[in-house]
Chains A and B, each alone.
Chain A
Amino acid sequence: MDTKQAAVSLRNITKTFGSVVANSKVNLDIRKGEILALLGENGSGKTTLMNMLSGIYFPDEGQIFINGKETVIKSPKDAYALGIGMVHQHFKLVDVLSAAENIVLGMKGKLNMKETCAKINDICQRYGFEVDPNQKIYNMSVSQKQTVEIVKVLFRGADILILDEPTAVLTPQETQKLFDVLRNMRDDGKAIVIITHKMHEVESLSDRVAVLRHGEYVGDMLTQETTAQEMTNMMVGHSVTLNIERPNPVNPKPRIQVSNLTVKDEEGITKLDDVSFTANSGEILGIAGISGCGQKELLEAIAGLQPAEGGTIYYINDDSSKEELLGKDPLKIQEMGVTLSFVPEDRLGMGLVGNMDLTDNMMLRSFRHGHNVFTDRKAPKELAKRVVKNLEVSTPGISTPVRRLSGGNVQKVLVGREIASAPTVLLTAYAVRGLDINSSYTIYDLINQQKKNGVAVIFVGEDLDVLLEISDKILVLCGGKVSGIVDGRTTDKNTVGMLMTKVGGKA
């Protein structure tokens, strides 16, 4: 099986950040004509390892061989010269420039736009991309931007492609398209590395799997000869169960009633169009939709952060009395006695303050308690300790700035704080985005726990498999409209996928 030639060989690569060991003596081969899936939990050092290959970091120890020759990669420029290209999770494109301009940006030599466009079209045809070289980036969808990033890398002659969680922002259909392109590139003899958390993607796309755990290389195997369960066990280091439970709702009652909600953004573009639904207590209402279809606006409108053009959002008390939430800010909603918790998509930019420690972040929700002009740090400190202990947050201590924690731990801190106030409504946006399997299941368990406590949960998700497993009902948004509300237990992926792309779902 080892007949394919190694394009890249990493030998004994070690990288430390202060006292944190990100990679320890990692050996890894990347072969030509093969798609390698690099697996590992958050903080296991996948991205760090690939960043060393693309010249962003410099290894403390170890050697890198490219096509059998020892090489030193000092900068991204060196990496390009060696034919290594990386597509990052966060795109590095200039919005006001066109696709072609972004692709040639920073390259030496005379600029010939005509030739450039011809070359871009050539690459697109060869692998099946769809890019208009003259389209401006700000007019593009996320998946188009990603395509530009990939073409940019190919344009510079990369034979070794690294993609860091490329599907996190794509719809199922876009993902399929991307995979087709990647397969074409593999057949063309390119070496491809894909970092991902989604097991079914690993199974359908990759030829070989390599696993990292706590910065160390655990092993590799052929995808055909392994299972999701085995790969997960290798990543985590012990066996885990891969089932999300879905307890039956107990005594569901209407809790949030949204009627005819219409929201426009600052530029006057309609983000939500006549949205109506009811979320019950003790139920999980999943929200599906292509990203940017109004999910963010919907949650923020309920949380009192988004002004609306029209409609109503009622909070229904246990005694069926209704209270309007729309037009009130989070402080007023809190003062009304409604405990509404919100786990926003942007964890460090909105839900938490990255530079503050755990205690001060816990205090965000409680600093107004009492009538003292001074802040009380005792209760938040206790809460921080409790969250760290109960949710198994791995942190050096509660006085560590949260930005130093890994993604999964950041989310545990945020969710831990939000459920600590014993909410009656819990809004979550992409609660497991970027989280590894272990952390994801911790979060699912916490959400299910809230459901059992009678909380009305609104769960905005992107992974359809998960939405179908966890939700009691699924509301599908399409371009800001309610495309359909389906029963999570009886529907299937295809139906929801159709509803996501077209209102009503009929092709």
Chain B
Amino acid sequence: MNEKVKEPLFHISKRDNIPPVKAWGIRVIAIILALIVCAIVTTVLTGDNPLSVYATIIKGAFGSQRKAWVTFQNTAILLIISLALTPAFKMKFWNIGGEGQILAGGLATAACMICLGDKVPNGLLIVIMIASSLLAGAVWGLIPAVFKAKWNTNETLATLMMNYIAIRLVAYYTVIWEVPKGSGKIGVINQSTNAGWLPNIGNKYLLPIIVAAIVTIGMVIYLNYSRHGYEIAVVGESERTAKYVGMKVNKVIIRTMLLSGALCGLAGLLLVGGVNHTVTTTITNNQGFTAVMVSWLAKFNPVTMIFTSLLIIFLDRGAGEISTAFGLNHSFSDIITGIILFFIIGCEFFISYKINFRKKSAKEEVSND
């Protein structure tokens, strides 16, 4: 009997370190592959020319000056939310309560606009709005943090539940403040006076972008160069080490969640006071969850997050465009987005691991035996 000794076709080993050029090469290849797969899927399912579909995606995101501004504005808001969640995630505090914290901030903003509009000078009103939105977001973040610090409750569940409380609260106040009565929505607040509307800087899209830029720079400095950032990193890596060097772990958790919640509240302020001038239960558009992905994709690096949030918004807006332009079911654009994200996230595996194929020489040796 000729016994066959077979080396496995491939085995997987962890990469030690990969030069950035190679890592980006893998990512580019992944995107190209994703586009090819999408092209095949498009042709097979719809019969449309995939190239024109891609052109439409780009047109949807950047086709006109207005579209481009909206894309950047949405990117800015998503970026702020992602940055808000990042310190908590770095601390391994799984804050999936972004939705609730944004809504809390947004509701506080709307409350100020409705109750204080025209009663106090506009400048003062905006200051009060900023303060109360930050505070409301911070409180929404603080509650799960205190529970975690005091009784070690599961923060994932607590923050998730806080989302529903916030949504119900908004629904409750929608009924109280609805205009006109019976419409079931609040409508544009202070449409005639514009009281409490955040001022336009340059044009009506620029304000969130400027705020996002400031928050990004601030977060880079905070996480990498401040004592607080260092404490967050140590607590996230190992609570025992943190205690060993005398850090107050509970204090760090509470402080970080106050910041995380307050920044989400800031996003709520921008959404209500700057973009929509109203509040609804769906104003967040699930960005509190999308931001989780943005933050992870960027590996918690604030600068990379600019690109990941732009990517997500770009795909989202482009996908919206193809469903209208080609008269396709909206689910189809979701399929395209899904395929592209799958490849982008999947390629990280090939950046961390190497696949070693069976060597040719080994094969020959075996067959000679």
Q: Which residues of A contact B (CB under 8 A)?
A: 17-20, 58, 60, 69-72, 74, 303-305, 329-334, 342, 344, 346, 349-356, 360, 363-365, 367-368, 372-375
In the complex with contacts A19-B16, A69-B3, A74-B8, A353-B225 CB distance below 8 A:
no
Taking the nearest CB of chain B, how far is it from the CB of A197, in angstroms? 26
Give the chain B neighbours of A331 by CB distance below 8 A. 246-248
Taking the nearest CB of chain B, how far is it from the CB of A53, in angstroms? 16
Within B239-295, the residues touching A (CB, 8 Å) are 240-241, 243-248
In the complex with contacts A58-B8, A334-B246, A375-B226, A349-B3 CB distance below 8 A:
no
A356 touches B237 (CB 8 A): yes
Docked complex Cα distance between A356 and B244 (Å):
16
In the complex with contacts A18-B15, A69-B3, A350-B244, A364-B227 CB distance below 8 A:
no
B240 touches A72 (CB 8 A): no
Within B189-234, the residues touching A (CB, 8 Å) are 225-231, 233-234
Give the chain A neighbours of B231 by CB distance below 8 A. 367
Docked complex Cα distance between A94 and B234 (Å):
30
Give the chain A neighbours of B240 by CB distance below 8 A. 346, 349-350
B225 touches A374 (CB 8 A): yes
* Smallest CB-CB A-B distances: 9 pairs: A18-B16, A331-B246, A330-B246, A353-B237, A350-B240, A58-B11, A364-B245, A74-B8, A350-B244
Give the chain B neighbours of A17 by CB distance below 8 A. 13-14, 16
Answer whether residue B238 sits at the interface, using C-beta atoms and an 8 A cutoff.
yes
Taking the nearest CB of chain B, how far is it from the CB of A15, in angstroms? 9
A72 touches B241 (CB 8 A): no
Interface majority SS (helix, strand, loop, mixed), chain B: mixed
B16 touches A20 (CB 8 A): yes
Q: Which of B228, B229, B247, B356 is the most central at the interface, judged by chain A CB atoms within 10 Å of its CB?
A: B247
B243 touches A305 (CB 8 A): yes
Give the chain A neighbours of B245 by CB distance below 8 A. 330, 364-365
A353 touches B226 (CB 8 A): no
B241 touches A352 (CB 8 A): yes
B5 touches A70 (CB 8 A): yes
Answer whether residue B368 sits at the interface, using C-beta atoms and an 8 A cutoff.
no
Q: Which chain B residue has the least Cβ–Cβ distance from A365?
A: B245
A368 touches B227 (CB 8 A): yes
Within B1-54, the residues touching A (CB, 8 Å) are 3, 5-8, 11, 13-17
Taking the nearest CB of chain B, how far is it from the CB of A195, in angstroms? 22
Give the chain A neighbours of B225 by CB distance below 8 A. 374-375
B5 touches A71 (CB 8 A): yes
Taking the nearest CB of chain A, how far is it from the CB of B91, in angstroms? 13
* Contact pick for A355, options B14, B230, B237, CB 8 Å: B237
B246 touches A350 (CB 8 A): no
In the complex with contacts A330-B245, A374-B225, A363-B230 CB distance below 8 A:
yes
In the complex, 25 of the A-B residue pairs with CB atoms within 8 angstroms, ordered by the A residue number, are: A18-B14, A58-B8, A58-B11, A69-B3, A70-B5, A70-B369, A72-B7, A304-B246, A329-B246, A330-B243, A330-B244, A330-B245, A331-B246, A331-B247, A350-B241, A353-B238, A356-B234, A356-B237, A360-B230, A364-B241, A364-B245, A373-B226, A373-B228, A375-B226, A375-B227
Give the chain B neighbours of A354 by CB distance below 8 A. 237-238
Give the chain A neighbours of B233 by CB distance below 8 A. 353, 356, 360
Interface string of B70-101 (1 = CB under 8 A from A): 00000000000000000000000000000000
* Contact pick for B244, options A71, A305, A332, CB 8 Å: A305
B16 touches A374 (CB 8 A): no
Give the chain A neighbours of B243 by CB distance below 8 A. 305, 330
Give the chain A neighbours of B356 by CB distance below 8 A. 60
Q: Which chain B residue has the least Cβ–Cβ distance from A350?
A: B240
Q: Which chain B residue has the least Cβ–Cβ distance from A396?
A: B17
Taking the nearest CB of chain A, how far is it from the CB of B199, in angstroms? 31
Given A20-B16, A350-B240; 9 other pairs, CB 8 A cutoff: A330-B244, A331-B247, A346-B240, A349-B240, A351-B244, A354-B238, A373-B227, A373-B228, A375-B225
B230 touches A18 (CB 8 A): no
* Contact pick for A367, options B17, B227, B369, CB 8 Å: B227
Taking the nearest CB of chain A, how far is it from the CB of B6, in angstroms? 6
B226 touches A374 (CB 8 A): yes
Docked complex Cα distance between A147 and B339 (Å):
51
Taking the nearest CB of chain B, how far is it from the CB of A185, in angstroms? 29
Give the chain B neighbours of A365 by CB distance below 8 A. 245
Docked complex Cα distance between A218 and B247 (Å):
47
Within B126-148, the residues touching A (CB, 8 Å) are none
Give the chain A neighbours of B228 by CB distance below 8 A. 373
Taking the nearest CB of chain A, how far is it from the CB of B17, in angstroms? 6
Docked complex Cα distance between A355 and B300 (Å):
15
Give the chain B neighbours of A72 by CB distance below 8 A. 5-8
A349 touches B238 (CB 8 A): yes
Docked complex Cα distance between A344 and B13 (Å):
32
Give the chain B neighbours of A346 by CB distance below 8 A. 240
A374 touches B227 (CB 8 A): yes
A18 touches B244 (CB 8 A): no
Docked complex Cα distance between A355 and B234 (Å):
10
Q: Which chain A residue has the least Cβ–Cβ distance from B11?
A: A58
Taking the nearest CB of chain B, how far is it from the CB of A8, in angstroms? 15
Docked complex Cα distance between A72 and B225 (Å):
51
Docked complex Cα distance between A207 and B85 (Å):
60
* Contact pick for B230, options A74, A304, A333, A367, CB 8 Å: A367
Give the chain B neighbours of A373 by CB distance below 8 A. 226-228
Within B59-77, the residues touching A (CB, 8 Å) are none
Q: Which chain A residue has the least Cβ–Cβ distance from B235?
A: A353
Give the chain B neighbours of A350 by CB distance below 8 A. 238, 240-241, 244
Q: Which chain A residue has the least Cβ–Cβ distance from B229?
A: A375
Give the chain B neighbours of A352 by CB distance below 8 A. 241
